[in-house]
Amino acid sequence: MKLQLEKNADNKGRRGPVVLLIMDGVGYGKYADGDAVRAACTPVLDKLRAVCPNTSLKAHGTAVGLPCDDDMGNSEVGHNAIGCGRVLDQGAKLVGEAISSGRLFEGKAWRELSENCVKNNSVLHFIGLFSDGNVHSHIDHLKAMLERAKKDGVKKVGIHTLLDGRDVPETSAPDYIKSFENFLKTLNTKDCDFRIASGGGRMVITMDRYGANWDMVKKGWDIHVRGIGRYFKSAAEAVETLRAETKAIDQDLPPFVISENGSEPLRPIKDADSVIFFNFRGDRAIEITAAFEEDNFEKFDRAPRPKVLYAGMMEYDGDLKVPKRYLVEPPRIERTIGKYLCDSGVAQLAISETQKFGHVTYFFNGNRSGYFNKEIEEYVEIPSDIIPFEQRPWMKSAQITDKVCEAVESGKYKFIRLNYPNGDMVGHTGNYQATIVAVSALDLCIGRIVESVKKAGAVLVISADHGNADDMFEHDKKTGEILHDRKTGEIRRKTSHSLNPVPCIIYDPESKGEYSGDLKSGLGISSLTATCLELLGFLPPNDYDPSLLVLRNINKWG
């Protein structure tokens, strides 16, 4: 269906394009200590905040479709909300409701997988992020499925744990493992054997995205499926040993395989087994799904590729129909700004480096792959370096900026969206000094874009999808004091996203006062969409969340 935007008769927009700049993971921090954004050298952002219309926006919890306001925002739901201009229930909430109502277990996919294991006396495997971070997965979802699997008569389960330390405290894996092993004891009987089978850090195995590093997926395949890896008698032993040897935080721990006898893996994935990838978020689920499902697969040698029934927690790509079998219907996100603008003949550019390229394309377009109209859209991916982000914290910000400045001044596009990953990707490492460098590099790049915007008579809208770099130390929730490690006395680093609001700054050098210098307050990042449409000279759809602009009684723009 073609979606046509209505033009605003009193507003022709500006000479140049509207540029939506997403500073991924950059929020307004609550505490001075550990706020790498506040500590960074940011003269450009400081000046823009002093002279331009600006406000703060909500970017977590119910403001982006998550179950409650204790849930941190993330790049997936953030770009979904910005792309579609309104708030829709997201994966965590949809899965939770499907489990509590029993719909998940009544569905065809669950019945096929569980009945396959009962019929063949085979193993039901679960692979996924092993925490309650609620960004990619939630361990309570796993526990509920295990309880139901036992009720349905499944006798053997293998759990393949992707250790977090990114959306939860960086060395919390032992706590999750201990609690989970105690939970398994309540399920296991003489005839029921549910066990952890393998694991490793989420940034080492399985959870690659956007084709950045397929070797991660191969490592995951080797330990989950082939049982090839270093043997340990338990997950607790593996984490303790590997931590002592490498000093790595959870997300970076090497892979391990559980073996009771030290000569063969406890529970590799074999023919006739069933496999559930229980992450609900799609970006880091698509590659391992391809390894299980695609016949013509050339990324690495899968031999032997077992004949299994495979399902994802949700449909990860609605256009590609991936995976073929899934447990919960994903949010149906339609009528995005990208679709509206294409149908209205507005030329667009989307650009980032590999680590966030899918966010300004796939997620921004409502979990949709590909172009709406390739004749007037261009998507540019700058290949990310395969290197620890703290070792090169500026990432590809300069290269992104080169392309954006050229595009702004070219006159080819009317709407440009870009994502700088620095604040988020470096923030997740927990390296405070490197994150200060990352945000400082970001500020330099924004300064260059400001000059191009001024030259082209464009409008620059600066915001973020969620916080991260603004909150890098663990604080006591009651007193606000910095928390320290009891053994070493060192500050406890925070690697997860924050619950802080994010900036919104509008730099409009050719403004003639058509809107107030004070933007609306109390709104969420979904309001960026209507704001961009108004700046482009269109009337936003009636059901989009309200624009941030406070329009004045001036007849004509431009």
Helix 214-224 vs helix 286-293: crossing angle, to nearest 10: 60
Contact in structure between 500 and 379 (CB atoms under 8 Å): no
Beta bridge partners of 419: 22
The SS3 call for residue 356 is helix
Task: Give the residue among 474, 457, 447, 470 at the shortest CA–CA distance from 512.
Answer: 457
Q: How many residues does the chain have?
A: 558
Contact in structure between 535 and 18 (CB atoms under 8 Å): yes
Phi, then psi, of 278 in degrees rounded to 5: -95, 10
265 cis-preceded (ω within 30 degrees of 0): no
The SS3 call for residue 402 is helix
For 174, the token pair is: 């032992």
Provide the phi-psi class of 544: left if phi over 0, else alpha when psi is between -120 and 50, else beta: beta
Residue 217: partners with Cβ closer than 8 Å, 6 or more residues away: 205, 206, 208, 287, 288, 291, 299, 300
User: What is the DSSP code (8-state) at residue 428?
Assistant: G
Task: Select which of 56, 75, 101, 137 is catalytic.
Answer: 75
User: What is the DSSP code (8-state) at residue 515?
Assistant: B
For 40, the token pair is: 């960074």
174 cis-preceded (ω within 30 degrees of 0): no
Contact in structure between 104 and 110 (CB atoms under 8 Å): yes
Task: Give the residue among 12, 17, 18, 11 at the shortest CA–CA distance from 463.
Answer: 18
Residue 126: partners with Cβ closer than 8 Å, 6 or more residues away: 142, 145, 146, 157, 158, 159, 160, 275, 276, 278
| Residue 75 is a catalytic residue | yes
Q: Which residues are catalytic?
A: 75
